[in-house]
Amino acid sequence: MAALAPDAGVKPRRRLLGKHPIGLLFAGPYLIYWLLLFAYPLGFAVYMSFRDYFFAAPGAQVDRPFVGLENYIRLIGDDDVHRAALNVVIFIVINVPLTVALGLILATALNTAIPGRTFFRVSFYLPYVSASVAVVAVWLYLFNGSGLVSNLLGSLAPDPPFLINSAWAMPIIALFATWKQLGFYVLVYLAALQNIPGELYEAASVDGAGTIRKFWSVTVPGVRPATTLVVILATIVGANFFTEPYLLTGGGGPNGASISPVLLMYRQGIEQGNPGYAAAIGVTLAIIVMGLSLLNRFLLDEE
């Protein structure tokens, strides 16, 4: 019994602090960062969404009454929210498959010994590291009524032009975001491609597989975890698009055709002083994105 006594003292501590308490020290700074900058604002957003909230000066005596589900009920009947939700669907339907397909094809191409490989790698990555404001200006010049694309298309160009055409505004935004982010996803796929053992390709060659067969049967399954990551990240980014409608289509135009949930949150929460309602939109968006991410993971992750 005497030999057991020290153990009895250690166990509760170990249960509390783990086998290696120093690990807490290492994880601590990030935990504090996460609590302060993620968990607290998220919890506060949930709190705000149940109130008629507005931002006030410290010390101001203000009334922010509890309104229950009122903000959420308003959201269900708001035409702007419906349009924004539809736009997220349009965005994701175009952006996610295109990102996966182009990302994988370009990464595969860049992984082979082609001339000017470094140049192409840098070229694809450049839009990702460029400021959105600068590259949006380039796209404005490309797609406005007298822009390069419209001129090249001539009579085939849509009327009204792309960016003020309610049928085209969202697809152009989705294409822009795909192009802007592609460099990052190519990089993810490039890293994943390095992990596919060369022997698999050799074995496939011995079995008589051609380039396309090897791509489908070795590369695509080999990068599956990366594809899961790319789909989840592209979905999250897609649901949160803001800069594109803010700058490319003049604040969600034409006539609200490219409004996004985050742009609506900005308008309501920051411009119009309704942060309670903006928070309700944000919380709903976060729940939907989490649901979509779980669904993606369920569908794509084999393990």
Binding site for another protein (CB under 8 A): 39-40, 42-44, 46-47, 54-64, 140-141, 144-146, 160-161, 163-164, 246, 250-256, 266-267, 270-274
Q: How far is the CB of 268 from another protein (least distance, A)?
A: 8
Residue with Cβ nearer another protein (58 or 210): 58
Whole-angstrom Cα distance, residue 121 to residue 103? 12
Q: Judged by CB, which is closer to another protein: 125, or 266?
A: 266
262 close to 240: Cβ distance less than 8 angstroms: yes
| Cβ neighbours for 99, distance < 8 A, ≥ 6 positions apart | 178, 181, 182, 185, 230, 234
Which CB atom, from 23 or from 43, has the smaller least distance to another protein? 43
Which is nearer to another protein, 122 or 270 (by Cβ)? Answer: 270
The span from the CA of 203 to the CA of 223, in Å, is 18
Nearer to another protein, 51 or 180 (CB): 51
DSSP 159: S
Three-state DSSP string of 216-242: HHHHHHHCHHHHHHHHHHHHHHHHCCC
> Rounded to whole angstroms, how far apart are CA atoms 168 and 135?
19
CA distance 169 to 78: 21
Cα→Cα distances 233→135, 174, 278, 292, Å: 21, 15, 23, 11
From residue 89, alpha-carbon distances to 32, 96, 125, 236, 259 in Å are: 35, 10, 26, 12, 12
Min. distance of Cβ 193 from another protein in angstroms?
Answer: 28
Task: Decide whether 256 or 261 has the Cβ nearer to another protein.
Answer: 256
Q: How far is the CB of 189 from another protein (least distance, A)?
A: 27
Distances in whole angstroms, Cα of residue 276 to Cα of each of 37, 242, 279, 285: 19, 19, 5, 14
**Closest C-alpha to 44, from 58, 74, 64:** 64
Nearest distance from C-beta of residue 24 to another protein, angstroms: 16
Please identify, using beta-carbon distances, which residue of 34 and 216 lies nearer to another protein. 34
User: Minimum CB separation from another protein for residue 145, in Å?
Assistant: 5
Report the nearest approach of another protein to the CB of residue 66 (Å). 9
Look up residue 208 and give its amino acid: G
d(CA 273, CA 66): 17
The answer to whether the bond into 160 is cis (omega within 30° of 0) is yes
Shortest distance, CB of residue 267 to another protein, whole angstroms?
A: 7
Is 64 or 74 the residue whose CB approaches another protein more closely?
64
As measured in angstroms, the least distance from the Cβ of 232 to another protein is 16
